Structures are given as structure tokens and as C-alpha cells.
Amino acid sequence: MPPWLTLTSCGITSYLLGSVSFSLLFAKAKGVDLRSVGSGNPGATNAARAMGKKVGLAVYLLDMLKGLLPVLIGAWLWGVEASVVAGASAYTGHILPFWNGFRGGKGVATLSGAFLALAPLVFLAAGLSWILVKKVFGLVALGSLAFGVALPIAAWALGVHLWIFWFGLGGGLFLFVTHRSNLMKMIQGTED
């Protein structure tokens, strides 16, 4: 198979997997309209608010697997470039899911799963940043933004493959786009 076809098929398959919204599936099973509860976002944090912490944790882990599994399969079958394409595509699928009218989650769990598989030490450094900022300031969204900032810094410091660095930079910066409503609330002092 030509490299471009390998990367294309890897990207499409990973995007479709990333597009599966576990939070909306849980919400439907429980009779909850997740889009009308809390932030209206179909992510793990809002799922926890609407359906409890156990469901929120389950959603987070499943969303994380959406990033982790395609990366592992891509690396196993085709190498680092395919694994980065798989991770980026799953991340994009989570944020812009075809199945849900391109209205998805903010991508933190899927991005973290991709980096757990791509560069575990980068994931660990960024994850510790998330924990520290969340603990100090008490804001999940601010922790998520710290995770996004830490990804490319840790990737650069640890000297990972250039494709992984660029994915960390792009994916980390894009968290600022997906969290723009949270940023506005932080500026206004209304973020909880």
C-alpha cells in the first residue's frame, strides 16, 4: 500500500472512531439530554456533572481509549507517522464528530490518550501540570489549558520525534479554541 494511502486510511478510520461520543451514549441510556445540562458540552466533565462522577470517569477513560488505541495500532502496523496521524484524527473526530453534526467535546481526554501512547513521559509531564493547576486554582478548564501548554514544552524538552512535537503543539494550542467559552468565563470570573 502506498504511504499516502496508508496515512489516509489510518486517518479516516481513526477520525470515525474518535467521532463516537460515549458521553451522549451514556446520557441516552440514562434518559438525560446532555446538551441541555451544565455547559451543554458532550465531554467527561459535563457527563460527571449531569450523571455522576462514576459516569464521568467512565466517559473520560473511554474517550482516552479513542486516542490511545488508534495510536498503538498505527505505530504497530505502520510506524510513528501513521500513529501521529491516527492520534490527530481521533482528536479531531472527538471535537468535530460526523455523527453529531460536528459538535463534540473539547478533546482533552482523547488528546491525553493519544499522548499516553505516543510519548508517555510527555503525557506524564502534561498530566502533572493539569493536576497541579487544578489543585491550586480549582478549575478543570484551567488545568486543561495547562495540559495543552505543557504538551509541546515537554515534547521539546524530551526530544521526541518531530511529528509528535508538532502534534503536541497543534493539539495543545487547539485546546484554547475548544475552551474559548471557559476562557471568557474565567475573564468574567464566572467559571466554576
pLDDT of residue 1: 65
Are 113 and 65 spatial neighbours (Cβ–Cβ below 8 Å)?
yes
Number of domains in the chain: 1
pLDDT in tens, 54-102: 999 999 999 999 999 999 999 998 899 999 999 999 999 999 998 889 9
Sign of the dihedral through C-alpha 108, 114, 118, 121:
positive
pLDDT in tens, 121-150: 999 999 999 999 999 999 999 999 999 999
pLDDT of residue 77: 87
CA dihedral 82, 64, 165, 12 (to 10 degrees): 30
Per the listing, cell 500500500 goes with: 1
Q: Is the confidence at residue 14, as pLDDT, over 70?
A: yes
Taking each helix axis as running N to C, give the angle between helix 80-95 and helix 53-77, from 0 to 180 degrees, rounded to the nearest 10: 150
Sign of the dihedral through C-alpha 24, 28, 30, 33:
positive
Give the domain extent around 182.
3-188
**Residue from 1, 168, 166, 163 nearest 77 by CA:** 1
